[in-house]
Structure 1
Amino acid sequence: MKISKYLHSCLVFEQDGFKLLFDPGTFSFAEGIVTPDMFKEVDAVIITHIHPDHFDPENLKKVIELSGAKLYTNKQVAAETEKLGLHAEVISEGDLSVGPFNLKAISVIHEPLLDNPTPEMTAFVINEKVLHPVDSFEEKLLEHKGIELVILPTMAPFCTELKIADFADRLQPKRILPVHDGFAKEFFLNQRYENYARHSDAKGIKFINIKPIGETVDV
């Protein structure tokens, strides 16, 4: 299984020639560096929640039109995609298969934001190797302590580095793939990720300083 990053929280998982796209949101497309054409060969798309940095209606529609990919999401997002003429298979908690991927869907609570309603949000365990908590640090996610890799939000208005590091320290994954960083300048990103890497190394966790566009990690 390969995971490729396309700015912020936009990820492509690939296995046996099947490509699964997560959260192509507005932050990924904002500067025109990432375009819908890059995802014309994806087979399926998952949207984890309705926030625009994870869900970009206009560009999602382009991706689906180009690729013919099947769309999976929760009820709240599905209500919006129907308005675009895009039918989605609604995900509920539990196990599901998407192509060769075995997924466990977990309903989680988004970390609090200023004057912002809490969205319906779905986290995932992928192939029993990867935890994708999305924008949540709920205690129940720690049931997956020791997992091979966690996709970790590392910058956000809803958290601090101390909170992020505490979650990772308690989860004790073997590796960390950082996301939720699409609004940061490169010099700042490099500085903070050096700090995260030093902290993680001291805890016996490998922090992967992945480049933001198209670089791949094998799991």
Structure 2
Amino acid sequence: MRVTKYLHSCLLVDTGAARLLIDPGRFTFVEGRVTPEDFGELDAIAVTHHHPDHADPDALSAIIRRTGAPLLGDRQSAERLAAYGLTVTVVEPGPHRIGAMTVDAIRADHEPVLADETPANTAYLIDGRVLHCGDSLHPVLFAHRGVDLLAVPVMGPYLTERLVAGFIAQLNPVAVVPLHHGYAKEFFITQRYDTYRPYVEQLGVTWHGLREPGDTALL
């Protein structure tokens, strides 16, 4: 299995049998370092929630036009993205098949934000091996302790270092990919990685930084 990161929270998971793109959001594309043409053929696209840094309507439209891949998400995302002419196939909690790939949709509350509404958030577990949390550190995800690869937000207005570190320790994955820092300067991302990496590694967990667009971890 190959997991490729394209800035912020955007991951491409390629099992060899199917290719799933998760959370192509605005911060992935805003600097022009990644384009909607960079992902190759896709079997599906999934969004964890409707915030634009996870679901960029313009990029999604371009990717769908090029690949014909279906767009998956929760009901709230379907309602919000319909305003941009996008059709979202609603995935209810539980397992779903994308070709030979199994994707478990997990309702995991978005972390609290300074807004009138906190969006619904869906985490995705791919073939029981890769867990993309979206913007959630909810205890419901502890059911997947020991997962091969945990893709987890490490920066954001709703996070502290101790909250993230405790979540990783509770889940005790084999490896971690840090997400949700696409708005930060490179020197600050380096500082964050230098803080998190030693803590994660002392837990016996592998740290996959995947700093540059297209950096890949092999499972």
Q: What band does the TM-score fall into relative to the shorter chain?
A: over 0.9
Whether the aligned pair in 2 keeps the contact of 1:145 and 1:170 (CA below 8 Å) is yes
Question: 1:192: which partner in 2?
Answer: 192
Partner amino acid, structure 1, of 2:28? S
Larger deviation, residues 34-43 vs 7-16: 34-43
Indicate the SS of the match to 2:108: strand
1:155/1:180 contact within 8 Å kept: yes
Higher strand share: 1
Matched AA of 1:13? V
Letter of the structure 1 residue corresponding to residue 24 of structure 2 = P
Of stretches 147-156 and 14-23 in structure 1, the one that deviates more from structure 2 is 14-23
RMSD: 1.4
Runs of 5+ consecutive residues of structure 1 not aligned to the other structure:
none
Q: Number of residues paired by the alignment?
A: 219
Once residues 185 and 86 of structure 1 are traced to their aligned partners in structure 2, the CA distance between those partners, rounded to angstroms, is 32
Residue 149 in structure 1 maps to residue 137 in structure 2: no
Residue 53 of structure 1 aligns to a residue in which SS?
coil
Specify the alignment match of 2:88 in structure 1. 88
TM superposition shift of 1:126? 1.1
Greater mean alpha carbon deviation, residues 13-22 or residues 67-76: 13-22
1:170 aligns with 2:170: yes
Asked whether the 8 Å contact 1:45–1:71 carries over to 2, the reply is: yes
| Aligned residue number for residue 140 of structure 1 | 140
**Which residue identity does 1:123 align to in structure 2?**
A
Amino acid in the other structure paired with 1:50 = H
Matches within 5 A, 1:99-114: 99-114=99-114
Deviation at 1:99, TM superposition (A): 2.1
Q: Does 1:47 align with 2:44?
A: no
Residue pair 2:8, 2:179 contacting (<8 A) in 1 also = yes
1: CA distance, partners of 2:116 / 2:148: 33
Q: CA deviation at 1:35?
A: 0.9
Are residues 81 and 113 of structure 1, via their aligned partners in 2, closer, same or farther at CA, if it must alter by over 3 Å? closer
CA distance in 2, matches of 1:196, 1:80: 34
Range with bigger deviation, 45-54 or 78-87 = 78-87
Q: How far apart are residue 124 of structure 1 and its match?
A: 1.5
Q: CA deviation at 1:17?
A: 5.3
- Secondary structure, in 3 states, of the residue corresponding to 1:104? strand
Alignment correspondent of 2:77: 77
1:135: Cα distance to partner?
A: 1.0
Q: For the Cα contact (< 8 Å) 2:123–2:134, is it kept in 1?
A: yes
TM-score by length of 1: 0.95
SS in 2 for 1:141: helix
Aligned equivalents of 1:12, 1:98: Cα separation in 2: 14
Supply the AA of the counterpart residue of 1:95. P
Are the structure 2 counterparts of residues 39 and 208 from structure 1 closer, same or farther at C-alpha, using a change threshold of 3 Å? closer
Percent of paired sites with the same residue: 40
TM-score where L is the length of structure 2 = 0.95
Distance 1:31 1:96, change over 3 A: same
Q: 2-side partners of 1:192 and 1:80: how far apart?
A: 33
Partner of 2:30: 30
C-alpha distance in 2 between matches for 1:126 and 1:64 = 21
Judge conservation of contact 1:40–1:66 (CA < 8 Å) in 2: no
- Tell me the distance in 2 between the aligned counterparts of 1:44 and 1:31: 24
